[in-house]
Amino acid sequence: MSRINDEEVRKALDKKAAYGADIDMGRYDEGEKDVEQIEDLSDTPDDIQKKMINVGVNTDDSDKDGTILFINNAMSHCSNRAQEGLIIMSTQKALEKYSWARDYYWKAVDPVKDKYTAKTYEERSDGYFIYVKPGYHLKFPVQTCMMLEQNKSVQNLHNIIVVDDDASCDMITGCTTIHGANDALHVGVSEMYIGENSSLSFTMIHSWNRETAVRPRTNIMMKKNSRYVNNYVLLDPVGTIQSFPTAYLDGEGASCSFNTMCIAHENSNIDTGGCAMLNAPNTGAEILSRNITYGGKMIARGRLIGNAPGVKAHLECKSIILKDGGVTQAIPELEASCADVEMTHEAAVGKIARDQIEYLMSRGLTEDEAVSMIVRGFLVGGIKGLPANLQKDIDAAIDKASEGS
């Protein structure tokens, strides 16, 4: 990326985003930077703990290599159990401590992209910084929790994840509101860099409130033979969320997969998806999106861009509509600038076939149970290898949602 022009960034402060409703950022106060410090994770207050678990982040971190908790705009807890191979701290601290950290600062995401990135740049927002050294394969996942506590505020975060060459890392990140924060805005810029022969698996679980606005901005830079897996789960009501993470497969043989699972409740406005820029030979991508609409607005996007020979990619957007009233849209896009590519897509929107429901009912399941079972299978089928405790949350959320319908 060329040098950042501060003047241009300033101009971008009111630049509308390409997708999603425009948000008046002036409505929100700045999020606090002075937050309670939790030294020992087991001392986490009960209410916070409960919320963390709800988004897949565990205060029993015996099977985690690192844990970070952010509350509003500052870090509240940071621990590193892997030590040797892993650097984990806040982004601003990393920038102070390591001159090389600058090589990853605003190098994947352009601050002038839209008002949200520009604001994050202007604020010099903090976030988590995770660096896995070359040759290290983290044994356990690193978990991060971003908690939004202050109503009418904006939580502005800037995260950086670097998995250097021949290394691997699994991450679980949960973002959620607490203490009545509802009408608030979460902006999260995430820049990810995956080295040669390295892999990063990134599972993100969101649980917001009925009026919360959410604008993540994520790009992933991928080198030769690297692998990226992105799982995104959104089961609870939200005001508006718009996100379109983009992977740049710049190294030969790199591959990525995006798996998205959303429930659009009444009054929720969800616009999610993923984009893969297949810029190098023999790169591959799979984008899978499985969604349920209970009267909300659901847009599932997927974009594959094939710019090199030997590219193989598949895109699948499927939505089940369980309640009238909302809007469900599947927008698959394929684009190629090269003849030797194989890119396919599949999209489907509709209700569950009646004969399937009745078939299960003839085995003694009630109609609701039959619908839940099919919905659960449909959603979960889109994401492979989810943490076991998350599976339970998904079941509970689906049951809750079907009761409400």
Q: How far is the CB of 110 from other proteins (least distance, A)?
A: 39
Closest to other proteins by CB, 113 vs 376, is 376
Closest to other proteins by CB, 26 vs 364, is 364
Q: How far is the CB of 378 from other proteins (least distance, A)?
A: 4
Q: Are 72 and 32 in contact (CB under 8 A)?
A: yes
Closest to other proteins by CB, 4 vs 361, is 361
Closest to other proteins by CB, 99 vs 362, is 362
Amino acid at 260: T
Radius of gyration of the chain (CA): 21
Q: How far is the CB of 277 from other proteins (least distance, A)?
A: 31
Q: Are 255 and 227 in contact (CB under 8 A)?
A: yes
Residues making contact with other proteins (CB under 8 A): 353-356, 358-367, 369-370, 373-374, 376-381
Closest to other proteins by CB, 214 vs 235, is 235
Q: How far is the CB of 84 from other proteins (least distance, A)?
A: 39
What does the alpha-carbon distance between residue 188 and residue 217 come to, in Å, rounded to a whole number?
6
Q: How far is the CB of 376 from other proteins (least distance, A)?
A: 7
Q: How far is the CB of 257 from other proteins (least distance, A)?
A: 19
Q: CA geometry: angle at 366 spanning 360 and 368, to 5°?
A: 100
Q: How far is the CB of 213 from other proteins (least distance, A)?
A: 32
Q: How far is the CB of 361 from other proteins (least distance, A)?
A: 4
Point out which residues pair with 336 in neighbouring strands: 306
Closest to other proteins by CB, 13 vs 360, is 360
Closest to other proteins by CB, 3 vs 354, is 354
Closest to other proteins by CB, 336 vs 360, is 360
Q: How far is the CB of 95 from other proteins (least distance, A)?
A: 45
Q: How far is the CB of 126 from other proteins (least distance, A)?
A: 41
Q: Are 20 and 59 in contact (CB under 8 A)?
A: no
Closest to other proteins by CB, 53 vs 352, is 352
- Number of residues in the chain: 405
Closest to other proteins by CB, 249 vs 383, is 383
- Strands 153-163 and 29-30, by their bridges, are parallel
Spatial neighbors of 101 by CB under 8 A, at least 6 apart, are 94, 95, 129, 131, 160
